């Protein structure tokens, strides 16, 4: 597949340079390019969970850049969907969410609509960019939670949980780790089993290459986990803003304060349902 500056046709895959990466879409007309969210530079304050498949005119897609059109080789041309089927699939997915910069981005979307399979040629570049972005993500679930206890798959964690005699406390600790497992993979693309876990003499855990903090309160019926690339801490209740903390309300009444060097990057995922 090559890319060229030329006039696009109905059903073509198109792209535009956006910073150090490319933003992709499906061309329908000058008034309609379907894409998985606008280019990142055009949606700086939009949370990934709110990014959805949308359409814009060509100017909205380009944001001042230049339109590049995919030129398929013979093998790719035989494999690609018919233009009308490409556009029909793209339109059918308008409003779809589930964006993830690594695993479900605009190139995955456009490539699947045109070629019938998900693919991203920028994986290494996107991964490098992703790893450099400041992240402070707060995940929360609310008790009661009827999730049955099972093994986390990490021997040291399972031993810690098994050593807790109080069944309620055991469940809460298990939920903290499961919520962290969910958050680390969703926010940072890191699997729990691959992290370098360590425990200091005071019993505090660390997990390279990420930072995290747990918070739970049976009175508040809350379990929360913060995941970040920098030091992060959680406390129950509100705190005066000092430029490195922000207080948020989770559920109907639980107030939690997140302490971080980049509190402006905070993203909140409340009422998570674990499987």
In tens, the pLDDT along 256-270 reads 999 998 888 888 998
State mean pLDDT over 235-249. 83
Residue 39: pLDDT over 70? yes
Write down the mean pLDDT value for the chain: 89
What would the CATH number be for the domain defined by 134-269? 3.90.470.20
Q: What is the pLDDT of residue 122?
A: 82
Q: What is the pLDDT of residue 33?
A: 97
Return the minimum-mean-pLDDT range out of 142-146, 156-160, 196-200, 248-252.
142-146
Q: What is the pLDDT of residue 131?
A: 67
- Of 79, 35, 84, 82, which is closest to residue 58 (Cα–Cα)? 35
Burial tier of 245 (Cβ tally within 10 Å: 0-12, 13-18, 19+):
middle
Q: What is the pLDDT of residue 121?
A: 86
Q: What is the pLDDT of residue 130?
A: 65
Q: What is the pLDDT of residue 258?
A: 92
- Of 151, 20, 35, 136, which is closest to residue 93 (Cα–Cα)? 35
Residue 220: pLDDT over 90? no
Considering only residues 54 and 240, tell me which one the structure prediction assigns the higher pLDDT: 54
Q: Please state, in angstroms and rounded to a whole number, the distance separating the CA atoms of residues 84 and 78.
A: 15
Grade residue 78 by pLDDT with cuts at 50, 70 and 90: very high
pTM for the full predicted model = 0.58
Considering only residues 18 and 96, tell me which one the structure prediction assigns the higher pLDDT: 96
CATH 3.90.470.20 domain locations along the chain: 134-269
Residue 254 phi, psi dihedral angles, 5° rounding: -75, 115
CATH 3.90.1720.10 domain locations along the chain: 2-130
- Of 186, 238, 235, 245, which is closest to residue 215 (Cα–Cα)? 235
First-to-last C-alpha distance (Å) of the chain: 40
Grade residue 57 by pLDDT with cuts at 50, 70 and 90: very high
Structural fold of domain 2-130: endopeptidase fold (from Nostoc punctiforme) (3.90.1720)
Considering only residues 19 and 29, tell me which one the structure prediction assigns the higher pLDDT: 29
Considering only residues 54 and 133, tell me which one the structure prediction assigns the higher pLDDT: 54
Q: What is the pLDDT of residue 265?
A: 82
Grade residue 42 by pLDDT with cuts at 50, 70 and 90: confident
């Amino acid at each position: 597949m090559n890319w060229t500056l030329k006039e696009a046709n109905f059903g073509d895959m198109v792209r535009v340079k956006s910073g150090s990466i490319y933003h992709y879409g499906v061309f329908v007309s000058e008034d309609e390019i379907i894409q998985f969210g606008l280019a990142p530079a055009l949606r700086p304050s939009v949370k990934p969970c709110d990014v959805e498949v949308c359409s814009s005119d060509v100017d909205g897609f380009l944001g001042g850049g230049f339109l590049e059109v995919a030129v398929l080789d013979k093998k790719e041309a035989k494999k690609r969907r018919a233009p009308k089927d490409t556009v029909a699939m793209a339109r059918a997915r308008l409003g779809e969410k589930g964006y993830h910069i690594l695993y479900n981005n605009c190139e995955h979307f456009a490539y699947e609509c045109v070629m019938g399979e998900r693919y991203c040629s920028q994986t290494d570049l996107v991964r490098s960019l992703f790893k450099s972005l400041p992240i402070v993500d707060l995940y929360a679930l609310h008790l009661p939670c009827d999730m049955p206890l099972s093994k986390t798959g990490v021997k040291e964690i399972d031993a810690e949980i098994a050593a807790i005699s109080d069944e309620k406390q055991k469940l809460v600790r298990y939920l903290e780790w499961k919520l962290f497992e969910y958050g680390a993979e969703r926010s940072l693309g890191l699997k729990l089993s691959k992290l370098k876990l360590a425990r200091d003499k005071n019993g505090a855990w660390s997990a390279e290459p990420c930072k995290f903090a747990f918070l739970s309160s049976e009175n508040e019926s809350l379990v929360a986990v913060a995941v970040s690339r920098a030091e992060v801490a959680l406390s129950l209740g509100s705190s005066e803003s000092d430029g490195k903390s922000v207080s948020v309300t989770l559920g109907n009444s639980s107030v939690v304060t997140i302490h971080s060097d980049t509190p402006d990057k905070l993203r909140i995922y409340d009422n998570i349902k674990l499987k």
